[in-house]
Amino acid sequence: MASHIVGYPRMGPKRELKFALESFWDGKSSAEELEKVAADLRVSIWKQMADASIKYIPSNTFAYYDQVLDTTAMLGAVPPRYNWSGDEIGFETYFSMARGNASVPAMEMTKWFDTNYHFIVPELGPDVKFSYASHKAVNEYKEAKAIGVDTVPVIIGPVTYLLLSKPAKGVEKTFPLLSLLDKILPIYKEVIAELKAAGASWIQFDEPTLVMDLESHQLEAFTKAYAELESSLSGLDVLIETYFADIPGDAFKTLTSLKGVTAFGFDLVRGTKTLDLIKSVFPSGKYLFAGVVDGRNIWANDLDASLVTLKFLEDVVGKDKLVVSTSCSLLHTAVDLINEPKLDTEIKSWLAFAAQKVVEVNALAKALTGQKDEAFFSANAAAQASRKSSPRVNNEAVQKAAAALKGSDHRRATNVTARLDAQQKKLNLPILPTTTIGSFPQTIELRRVRREYKAKKISEEEYVKSIKEEINKVVKLQEELDIDVLVHGEPERNDMVEYFGEQLSGFAFTANGWVQSYGSRCVKPPIIYGDVSRPKPMTVFWSTTAQSMTKRPMKGMLTGPVTILNWSFVRNDQPRFETCYQIALAIKDEVEDLEKAGITIIQIDEAALREGLPLRKAEHAFYLDWAVHSFRITNVGVQDTTQIHTHMCYSNFNDIIHSIIDMDADVITIENSRSDEKLLSVFREGVKYGAGIGPGVYDIHSPRIPSTEEIADRINKMLAVLETNILWVNPDCGLKTRKYTEVKPALQNMVAACKLLRSQLASSK
């Protein structure tokens, strides 16, 4: 029985690639040094899988930024603003597209389906001149072959690539992107020909858009694409991989009818209904890559249950046509439990990171051939039983409190217009009030202080003194810049979710459980293993300390329940909404304590609310109902004069704007500039928004500093569709990933633009 891994984490067990990238971007190391780190990581990954007896090992899943950008490079689809010469795409052009540079902005970044991973959105139009401009897929295949590992090259499929793209600036929004299929397929043919010449026997095309709600013409594009590629693919075994959800019946029929395709991969963790389709209409003679090991969570596989599923599938497709696989790329999970020596032993026994999942895949494949490792399966069964019976998982009081939420929609008693009036009387803010989203740059010194405090190398008194000094510095800087509503900069927090999880019951934490979010940005998701509650206040001390340093309003900064949920590894033994309601009650306690302590503006970030939206429209309403309800639970008890803010970033919000309104926040700050001000289109189309709103005026994920004129132009575009009295001015997102040399001039220009427009508005009255 064969085994397969869809993809593997790139950053390395100790984030080696992250540090190499940042060193290269800072000019401290060369391209050759970066390439050496990357090559060493790739080789170690391939050898690890080969040592685990994985038959189908992926290559070309390693990316310096993301796999969609890699495909853009392969196709030579570089927007003209980057002045690309037309040669093989190198780091300068590649990273300019990803991050922008001193003269031009980056391309749009958005979430990869419903994950916390991001990709750079291709910008396409009728005039794009495609060319084979990056030979990375072939080079990596050859690199693996040189060390004796025959891999399966992985490429984003042509139809998915186009469906994830957007019309470039200046191109009609209605431009049919699928009309470019005939222009990109010749490049795919060139890549295929080179892979065949290099000795590849398999190729994997990732076509995850097949799990979406697709129209008939979109499904027809798959048929057309693979019919056109059929002759080029002759002599190769071809795997089409799907993941993240059930595949709809019409898409399943299209997929399994594709010409030249010999194997189909399905997510059987998040797509259990696909089993019925396989049972009824799976084509004979084709391979089934059965994704039974979860690539998106960190819980150990229930090996006995998976074996039952695999034996059922074996009867359907045949013993020699079944391949055990992961549900999706392991990119979305942490790297290796071996790097967690301090993790609680019982909880650790319940977990499997990427390295352990590779072992699980192989163990299941061997078990199907009669080589079952009885000791391994027995230990797995014991861990499953331990988790079900552990008293640390269940808290009866929390369960009762969450159950009592049913029957109320938890809305504040007064409407938002009346609340804003009451808040303005208390806050006395100018028109176009300025603020930032929460975090300020995390300096090397600040990270050292937190690290030494955790390692008990400095006392609590020394730690508090250092953090207070950092807060004071951030407060004074904002006052000098003349920002209206301040933040404390979050110096006590390494991560907005981890910080809260560390103070809530039911959470566990890793030392090295890093997961890539985008580029060099890694997050360390907490593990929600049990019922959630708040033992004591979490932010009140720091918020009141910061407020005591200024007379200007200071925002209390919290992470909302939906974002904590979506940015954690969540328990899979109860529905997600039940866990979310428990978190909401914990945040509600914190909100009310902040209000009692005199904090008049409280921001409850829901950056990941859109991210959790199911991929299929039929499931949207249920998710949005409990997600929005969870947010309202957090602040239903505050006074009218307490202003509740929320923040969202890096997703397409236009299709959920009515749910955003239904959250009933007083002010929302929302990403806008990097997505080419796409958000504003909903207001142009007539959506009425009565609460305060701050569409971001500049992209914080780029080192580029926007001019005063550029920001003023953005604000004017907002004023064309939004009322002056509800508009706020702020960056797209938090500033923790930037340097002070970038933050100070950018915020200076933001405030200057705001004052310029205030002056113009005053003189026009």
pLDDT in tens, 75-120: 999 999 999 999 999 999 999 999 999 889 999 998 899 998 999 9
- 701 catalytic? Reply is yes
Residue ranges of the binding site for L-methionine: 437-439, 490, 605
Name the 3-class secondary structure at 149. Answer: coil
Q: Is the pLDDT of residue 685 over 80?
A: no
Mean of all residue pLDDT scores within the chain:
95
| β-strand pairing of 166-167 with 123-124 | parallel
Q: How high is the pLDDT of residue 386?
A: 95
Q: Pick from 666, 637, 708, 457: which is nearest to 555 by CA? A: 666
pLDDT band at 334 (very low <50, low <70, confident <90, very high): very high
pLDDT in tens, 698-717: 988 788 899 999 999 999 99
- Residue 572's CB is within 10 A of a number of other CB atoms, namely 14
pLDDT in tens, 168-224: 999 999 999 999 999 999 999 999 999 999 999 999 999 999 999 999 999 999 999
729: left (phi over 0), alpha (psi -120 to 50) or beta: beta
Full-prediction pTM beyond 0.85?
yes
DSSP codes, 645-664:
EEEE-SS--GGGHHHHHHT-
Q: Which amino acid is at 71?
A: T
Q: How high is the pLDDT of residue 652?
A: 67
Q: Is the pLDDT of residue 293 over 70?
A: yes
Residue ranges of the binding site: 18, 116, 437-439, 490, 521-522, 567, 605, 647, 649, 658, 662, 671, 733
Residues listed for the chain: 765
Annotated active-site residue in 4, 118, 645, 701: 701
626/58 Cα distance (integer angstroms): 38
Percentage with pLDDT > 90 across the chain: 88
Task: Confirm if 194 and 138 have CB atoms less than 8 A apart.
Answer: yes
Q: Pick from 577, 556, 557, 558: which is nearest to 566 by CA? A: 577
Q: Is the pLDDT of residue 674 over 70?
A: no
pLDDT in tens, 726-744: 999 999 999 998 999 999 9
pLDDT in tens, 340-377: 999 999 999 999 999 999 999 999 999 999 999 999 99
